[in-house]
Amino acid sequence: MVTVRIAQTTGKTVQSCSGAGCGGKTQAPKDAMSIATLNDIFFAAVERNLDRIMLYHDAGQWLPISSREFGIGVARTARTLHAWGIRAGDRVAILSENRPEWPTADLASLLLGAVTVPLYTTLTAEQTAFVLNDAGCRVIFLSSDQLLHKILSVLHQTQIEKIIVMDPVEFNGDLAPFAGKCVSMNSITLQGPEMLDAEIEAKARAIAPDDLATIVYTSGTTGTSKGAMLTHGNIASNISCSLLGFNMRPGLVSISFLPLCHITARHVDFSLIYHGVTLAYCPFLDRLAASLLEVQPSIFVAVPRVYEKIYAQAEQKAKGLPKRAIYDWAVSVGQDHKPEILAGKTPTSRSWKLANRLVFSKIREGMGGHIETFISGGAPLGRELAEWYAKMGIRIHEGYGLTETSPVIAVNTPINHRIGTVGKILPNLEVRIAEDGEILVKGPSVFKGYWNRPEETRAALVDGWFKTGDIGNIDADGYLSVTDRKKDLIKTSGGKFIAPQPIENSLKLNPLVGVAAIVGDKRKFASVLVSPNFAALEEWARENEVSFVSRADLIANPKVQALYEGIVEGINQNLARFEKLKRVLLVPDEFTADNGALTPTMKLRRRVIEDRYKKQIDELYAQADAAAVP
């Protein structure tokens, strides 16, 4: 049983908690304290015996998977791995989009005491080989023929002995030489005894909280990817507290679309499986909009980038009269009732009901129409975006955490909620703000260290405190705010520090801005690179009779440059003098995870962007220096 230790205050900089968030009266339910290992989640899910624990999309329809069917698939997969000689401590990789086979492979491995190593499908073949080799993986589960060919191209660089393919694949032609090494997952899960062997079950129940469960390689905004070692107890202790006060229960539905190779999505799925919530697996982001309408989920967990896109679509649809006038009126009504929404109440005024019918309900209908809980994590949401949603009648519960903390450190809940913060700290964690503003964390969910990197582990963990690398503060009521990444802070040549993320978040609220990246470290002033929302920009160009033959041609147009300079100047009005953005550099490229400008969780890789556009940035500042010379 996990013992949830109440953090004790040892000074003004340490946060103390004693319930479902600091100051809350809700105590942890008894069953939430019974999770000692991730294997406990599997046994609890099977014993709950639900008719519909998961949904998957096939041939145009959503099909259910029961607790029993899921349990059988896990048992048969675990038996096969055991027969291959997979034992406690062996590493098993998973390379797949979100689908039921993902947790099947994960939990089957964990039952044996093996260590799962999730991989991003967007990694290059060489990056994938690096992780497989670094972790020493013996077996890999992968989803498709495309990913199979990626692995086969680097197989000689790894220690992989067996490959399990989730999609039907014919092992002939160029695949024939690998037939002995490759196995179809269907051949494993659709035949054999339905129950766990007594030996395997005994091993599974004997797994201890301190046993290593997974090595999660951080997507990394800078530097080489590192493998964070998380134990069963790390993740289980976090699950015990992360959803207190949310009333998760059987009958609710959530779409699993955030990459399961990221700890946030995996933590959420483990938590929801434990609570009996049905998970609908959406493998590809381009199917999310359709999936929301088809599944009509009651829970929506997303990264800020997804919330930004929904906002941008709403703004785009409100263009032109009379739509714009109605929309603006509704926004003003929402502003008046924002305190009620943030307090978890439904306004009853006639004006709000009309605004809800004409505007707010349409936005919710686009997300399925039945969502009762909205959660954001993985990156800073931005106060302005959170406020827009509140005006629309939607209260987003923003949380905060890192891979190394399994991941949740703090979260806004229905009971304790304060916009502009990431909520109150979990009741089994301590948080301290260092003298330089860095957030330090101690508690049972803090990782064991980095795989094969003792020096980096020693640098990250000091006297049991994990150095998050984030800058933040705790207010008088115990709410934690995160202002920026420590490494992202820009120090001008005048010695002033600029936190770029809040400014970038403000810029992204404009529908014409795709992604913004502030630069200016060691320079006289800050500037901004803007990757436009080209769909919106091209529509604007057509409406304003701006001709173009390419994206490079479009952003070079003086009218377009003036347009974005105006957008930036609008943001500058709310910035301190030293923060103001003096130059705007438009780029003809989209910033995506596929081209390396963003992490798979849509965080900005600032150093990558600065290196990619170094020549243009240098020229921009050289021109500014030349212009300043009398």
Per-residue model confidence (pLDDT) at position 145: 95
Q: Does residue 207 contact residue 112 with C-beta atoms inside 8 Å?
A: no
Q: Could you report how far apart the first and last alpha carbons of the chain are, in Å? A: 73
Q: How far is CA 72 from CA 14, 46, 48, 190, in A?
A: 46, 9, 14, 9
Q: Does residue 48 contact residue 276 with C-beta atoms inside 8 Å?
A: yes
pLDDT tens-digit readout, 163-205: 999 999 888 888 888 988 999 999 999 988 999 999 999 999 9
Token pair of 431, please? 């948080």
Q: Does residue 291 contact residue 57 with C-beta atoms inside 8 Å?
A: yes
Q: Please choose, from the candidates 382, 436, 389, 431, the residue with its C-alpha nearest in 3D space to the C-alpha of residue 410.
A: 431
Q: How far apart are CA 31 and CA 5, in angstroms?
A: 16
Q: What contacts 27, CB < 8 A, 6 or more positions away?
A: 19, 20
pLDDT over 80 at 32, yes or no: no
Range with the lowest mean pLDDT among 255-259, 580-584, 597-601? 597-601
Q: Tokens 């091209």 belong to which residue?
A: 538
Range with the lowest mean pLDDT among 291-300, 340-349, 548-557, 621-630? 621-630
Per-residue model confidence (pLDDT) at position 4: 21
Q: Tokens 């000074």 belong to which residue?
A: 11
pLDDT tens-digit readout, 125-159: 999 999 999 999 999 999 999 999 999 999 999 99
Q: How confident is the model at residue 6 (pLDDT cuts 50, 70, 90)?
A: very low
Q: How far is CA 425 from CA 33, 430, 443, in A?
A: 17, 8, 11
Q: Residues spanned by CATH 2.30.38.10 within the chain?
A: 301-445+465-485
pLDDT tens-digit readout, 428-466: 999 999 999 999 999 999 999 999 999 999 999 999 999
**586 forms bridges with which residues in the sheet?**
530
Please classify residue 180 by burial: count the beta carbons closer than 10 Å to its beta carbon, then call 0-12 exposed, 13-18 middle and 19+ buried: exposed
Q: What percent of the chain has pLDDT over 90?
A: 82
Q: Tokens 């003004």 belong to which residue?
A: 12
Q: How confident is the model at residue 220 (pLDDT cuts 50, 70, 90)?
A: low
pLDDT over 90 at 536, yes or no: yes
Q: Does residue 123 contact residue 219 with C-beta atoms inside 8 Å?
A: no
Q: How far apart are CA 403 and CA 408, in angstroms?
A: 9
| CA 316, chain centre distance (Å) | 25
Q: How far apart are CA 246 and CA 236, in angstroms?
A: 17
Q: Residues spanned by CATH 3.30.300.30 within the chain?
A: 489-623
Phi and psi for 462 in degrees, rounded to 5? Answer: -125, 110
| Packing angle, helices 558-572 and 534-543, rounded to 10 | 120
Return the amino acid letter for 284.
F
State the chain's mean pLDDT as an integer: 91
Q: What contacts 4, CB < 8 A, 6 or more positions away?
A: 28, 33, 237, 240, 241, 427, 428
For the segment 488-513, the average pLDDT, to the nearest whole number, is 92
- Tell me if the domain spanning 489-623 has CATH number 3.30.300.30: yes
Per-residue model confidence (pLDDT) at position 627: 75
Token pair of 131, please? 């992780």
Q: How confident is the model at residue 7 (pLDDT cuts 50, 70, 90)?
A: very low
Per-residue model confidence (pLDDT) at position 219: 65
Q: What percent of the chain has pLDDT over 70?
A: 93
Per-residue model confidence (pLDDT) at position 415: 95
Specify the DSSP element, H or E, that contains 57.
Answer: strand 54-58
Q: Does residue 292 contact residue 367 with C-beta atoms inside 8 Å?
A: yes
Return the amino acid letter for 223.
G
Which stretches of 112-210 are DSSP H helices?
125-135, 145-154, 185-189, 198-206
Q: How far apart are CA 261 and CA 300, in angstroms?
A: 18
pLDDT tens-digit readout, 222-248: 456 899 999 999 999 999 999 999 999
Token pair of 17, please? 């908690």
- Tell me if the domain spanning 38-207+252-297 has CATH number 3.40.50.12780: yes
Phi and psi for 530 in degrees, rounded to 5? Answer: -125, 125
pLDDT tens-digit readout, 77-115: 999 999 999 999 999 999 999 999 999 999 999 999 999
Per-residue model confidence (pLDDT) at position 53: 97
pTM: 0.87
Phi and psi for 198 in degrees, rounded to 5? Answer: -60, -40
Return the amino acid letter for 542.
R
Return the amino acid letter for 450.
Y
Q: Does residue 230 contact residue 238 with C-beta atoms inside 8 Å?
A: no
Q: How confident is the model at residue 599 (pLDDT cuts 50, 70, 90)?
A: confident
> DSSP string spanning 550-594?
SHHHHHHSHHHHHHHHHHHHHHHTTS-GGG-EEEEEE-SS---TT
For the segment 406-432, the average pLDDT, to the nearest whole number, is 97
Q: How far apart are CA 616 and CA 422, in angstroms?
A: 36
Q: How far is CA 271 from CA 29, 32, 88, 248, 279, in A?
A: 14, 10, 24, 9, 11
Q: Please choose, from the candidates 411, 390, 410, 622, the residue with its C-alpha nearest in 3D space to the C-alpha of residue 523.
A: 622
pLDDT over 70 at 28, yes or no: no
Pairing of strands 526-532, 581-586: parallel
Q: Tokens 């827009």 belong to which residue?
A: 388
| CA 417, chain centre distance (Å) | 20
Q: Please choose, from the candidates 206, 302, 308, 207, the residue with its C-alpha nearest in 3D space to the C-alpha of residue 254.
A: 302
Q: How confident is the model at residue 629 (pLDDT cuts 50, 70, 90)?
A: low
Q: Residues spanned by CATH 3.40.50.12780 within the chain?
A: 38-207+252-297
> DSSP string spanning 478-519?
SBEEEEEEGGG-EE-TTS-EE-HHHHHHHHHTSTTEEEEEEE
Q: Does residue 295 contact residue 310 with C-beta atoms inside 8 Å?
A: no
At the topology level of CATH, where does 301-445+465-485 sit? Luciferase; domain 3 (2.30.38)
pLDDT over 70 at 408, yes or no: yes
Q: How confident is the model at residue 320 (pLDDT cuts 50, 70, 90)?
A: confident
